Amino acid sequence: MEFVVPEEIEAKLEELDAFIEREIKPLEREHIQYFDHRREWARTDWENDGQPSEAWEEVLREMKRRADAAGHLRYGLPKALGGQDGSNLAMAMIREHLAAKGLGLHNDLQNESSVVGNFPIVLMLHDFGTPEQKELIEGMITGETRIGFGLTEPGHGSDATWLETTAVRDGDTWVINGEKRFNSGLHNATHDLVFARTGGEPGRPKGISAFLVPTDAPGFEVPFMHWTFNMPTDHAEVRMTDVCVPHSALVHEEGEGLTLAQHFVHENRIRQAASGVGAAQFCIDESVAYAQERHTWGEPLSSRQAIQFPLAELHTECEMVRGLVYKTAWHLDQQHHMQVSHMVSMANYRANRLVCEAADRAIQVHGGVGYTRHKPFEHIYRHHRRYRITEGSEEIQIRRVAGTLFGYMGKRR
């Protein structure tokens, strides 16, 4: 075994660093209000249900245009889509590297925009979509098209097999009724990927189907946006009343919608975990540097074991979780994602918990100034805290690990 970063990934990281300094940092400095203590106030259109402001999103679009022109944005996509077939291992290392740089336009936390894009729904349509559906892909990459993800409901989150939204076929038309909650991206989405039961029994994975629903379809309503811990918000409450879509809106096979959801979450979870490790390392490094320069009672803060020991423990755990993330990403490149689902869960819940603990400790080490928005730690905490709930809460992740360990979910490997 070789515990080294592959040369081609190391070269990519150096190339990204140079690109960020040359083209992204100047753009960031031009719009520094989105990254300093004013960031939440500046990014949010408070009078428009707390949605992201148009000016803020235009800065993000410009970042993506520059990254795409430089050949970075599509790195993780197949060559057929203009990408470079970036591996899961490479994407994990890149996401960690970018997050470890701290807050910035190169890798925004709240919006999940990055110079190296993460496009789970693009990959979903590329692998499972019809030729007509695949025509949406280029627009999704460039930002002209956006597809929301409608799985969670008011009465059902992690228990997705019990969802109550239904789709009934009437000839060549499907009629959809139901509600969705925390439906991401709906502030400017052109379509929503809606999961609905089309057959089977409640609680069973078979019988749930996925549909591409235009957001301007009659009967599709967004009553309000949820104001969250991490503002601005793009998490909509959605109500669908007799929404009609053609049979061509069905993505993949009827009754196999949860296959798409699993396809979505595994690559997303490992990349979130990698970002968590990077952000945790940033919090640790910033705290160490501050403790060495800050003096109390005539001595550096770093001379006190009450400061040293918690950071040393976090640094140790960061190293361990990093190894798990890399190993899991490597396995995702070698095997079908369902074969290593338990490893993805391990990496995801531990990394999500780690970064929250690291951000909290950074606030404590920095004292009163750490609690202000002049430091980035509150922003990091608010962003990563949601991942202990979204895309499968940490309890669901632990359940999957336990299910594999005790033989309830396939064979233990």
Tens digit of each residue's pLDDT (9 = 90 or more) over 333-354? 998 888 889 999 999 999 999 9
- Biggest alpha carbon–alpha carbon distance for the chain: 81
Burial (CB count <10 Å: 0-12, 13-18, 19+), residue 318: buried
110-159 pLDDT per residue, tens:
788 999 999 999 999 999 999 999 999 999 999 899 999 999 999 998 88
1-28 pLDDT per residue, tens:
778 888 999 999 999 999 999 999 999 9
User: What was the pLDDT predicted at 220?
Assistant: 98
Token reading at 274: 């990698």
Residue 232, preceding peptide bond in cis (omega within 30° of 0): yes
- pTM beyond 0.85: the answer is yes
> Distance between CA atoms of 110 and 382, rounded to whole angstroms?
9
- The yes-or-no verdict on residue 323 having pLDDT over 50 is yes
User: What was the pLDDT predicted at 410?
Assistant: 60
- Give the range with max mean pLDDT: 156-165, 244-253, 391-400: 244-253
CA dist 120 to 91, 266, 383, Å?
13, 9, 19
- The yes-or-no verdict on residue 311 having pLDDT over 80 is yes
CA dist 364 to 79, 212, 284, 314, Å?
46, 46, 12, 14
User: What was the pLDDT predicted at 413?
Assistant: 44
368-395 pLDDT per residue, tens:
999 999 999 999 999 999 999 988 899 9
C-beta pairs of 196-202 under 8 Å, 24+ apart in sequence: 196/163, 196/165, 196/166, 196/167, 196/257, 197/163, 197/164, 197/165, 197/166, 197/167, 198/166, 198/167, 198/168, 198/169, 198/174, 198/254, 198/255, 199/254, 199/255, 200/255, 202/161, 202/162
pLDDT-above-90 percentage for the chain: 87
Average pLDDT value for residue range 23-48: 97
Helix ranges, 335-376 (H)? 341-366
Look at 259 and 317; give whichever has higher pLDDT: 317
Q: 160 falls in which pLDDT band (50, 70, 90)?
A: confident
- The yes-or-no verdict on residue 412 having pLDDT over 50 is no
- The yes-or-no verdict on residue 313 having pLDDT over 80 is yes
- Could you give all domains of the chain from N- to C-terminal order, each with its CATH number? 7-119 (no CATH), 147-251 (2.40.110.10), 259-405 (1.20.140.10)
* Pick from 393, 400, 403: nearest CA to 182: 393
Report the DSSP beta bridge partners of residue 107.
Answer: 114
- The yes-or-no verdict on residue 232 having pLDDT over 60 is yes
Q: What is the helix (H) or strand (E) element at residue 17, kind and residue range? A: helix 7-19
270-291 pLDDT per residue, tens:
999 999 999 999 999 999 999 9
- The yes-or-no verdict on residue 411 having pLDDT over 70 is no
Q: 307 falls in which pLDDT band (50, 70, 90)?
A: very high
Angle, in degrees to the nearest 10, between helices 305-334 and 88-99 = 160
DSSP 256: B
Q: 246 falls in which pLDDT band (50, 70, 90)?
A: very high
